[in-house]
Amino acid sequence: MPGEGHEDPTEAQIRWQVFQAIAYGAKGLLYFAFHPFGVGLPGGLVRCEPKHAVGPCPNALEPTHHYWQAQRINSAVLAIAPVLMRATVLGIADLRYQTVPNPRPVLDAMVDGGCGLLDISRGEWTVSCFALAPDAAATAAEGPAATATKALMISNYEHAYTQYASVSWACAKTQPLSCVSRSVHEIDQRTGEAREVEDDEPDLPGFQLYLDAGSARLFVIQDGPKESSSFKSDDAARLTSGVVPLVSDLERLAALHRSGDRQRLQRS
């Protein structure tokens, strides 16, 4: 907050401070300063009522514009708090446009076993991976947020402008893209519910996520099937066009021919 020569922050700057703290594992927030420094001095979420012109600020207070800004930010944080309170930071990737031209190797090194995100477009990002403690009272019927083992947070490190993140999800490396609807769910910052992650710009190439200035988005990741040695990443693309079964049949026939099993070859 302003005071002693510091500028008065915008809502995006306050939001940036909040979500960067959360990205690094913060479990609580305290705004400084909630209370004004005195009559006529800016810098709090509340201020003295105008009738108190001199002296220390009494208990008669009224909200400032920062109070309502904090209220909006806190509402979003409270919605995702049940997941965050189960979360322990596993790894963080600080992806800056100038210093990290290729984010994928940094993401690969962030956490052993990955965190649901294969790649992200070059930009100003903080990407955090969390382990989620089991919820003893949770059942599969309560939804993906209750049963997920990991969470992923993508934060817009810029508080001056919005960004689109073009992402590649890890499950689509070995499965059709439809796996995303089963493996990745976003925690809605209005309702707190887990919902299928959606492409914010489906007419653009890739999978697009919109992030407002200084904001962040939280996703829960479901454990998917392990990669099979017989199922390669290019097979996932072929599978949607029906090419994989044809290739498999040709390989089977070639194997029978090499083995000399003419009787089974004739039946095929």
Cross-strand pairs, 6:
3
Angle at the Cα of 55 from the Cα atoms of 51 and 61, rounded to 5 degrees: 50
* pLDDT given for residue 8 in this prediction: 83
pLDDT of residue 59: 60
Residue 170 is predicted with a pLDDT of 94
Q: Cα–Cα distance between 96 and 65 in angstroms, integer?
A: 31
Instruction: Give the CA dihedral 73, 74, 79, 81, nearest 10 degrees.
Output: 120
Q: How many CB atoms lie within 10 A of CB 13?
A: 16
CA-to-CA dists, residue 208 to 29, 193, 252, angstroms: 30, 21, 40
Residues of the chain with pLDDT under 50: 226-254, 256-257, 261-262, 264-268
**CA-CA distance, 19 to 216, in Å (whole number)?**
6
Q: Note the pLDDT of residue 158.
A: 98
33 preceded by a cis bond (ω within 30 of 0) = yes
- The H or E element containing residue 15 is helix 11-23
Q: What is the pLDDT of residue 1?
A: 53
Between CA 78 and CA 207 the distance in angstroms is 27
Instruction: Report pLDDT for 37.
Output: 58
β-sheet bridge partners, residue 128: 92, 153
- Residue type at 113? G
Distance CA 257, CA 251 (A): 10
Q: Determine the distance from the C-alpha atom of residue 185 to the mean position of all C-alpha atoms in its chain, rounded to a whole number.
A: 9
Cα–Cα distance for residue pair 86/80, rounded to 1 Å: 11
pLDDT value for 99? 96
Question: Residue 158 to residues 17, 23, 102, 161: CA-CA distances in angstroms?
Answer: 11, 14, 18, 6
Pairwise CA distance, residues 229 & 57, whole Å? 70
151 close to 184: Cβ distance less than 8 angstroms: no
Q: Are 235 and 244 in contact (CB under 8 A)?
A: yes
Instruction: Give the pLDDT confidence score for residue 17 in this predicted structure.
Output: 96
Strand partners, 130: 89, 151
Which residues contact residue 212 at a Cβ distance below 8 angstroms, ignoring those fewer than 6 apart? 12, 15, 156, 162
CA distance 197 to 170: 14
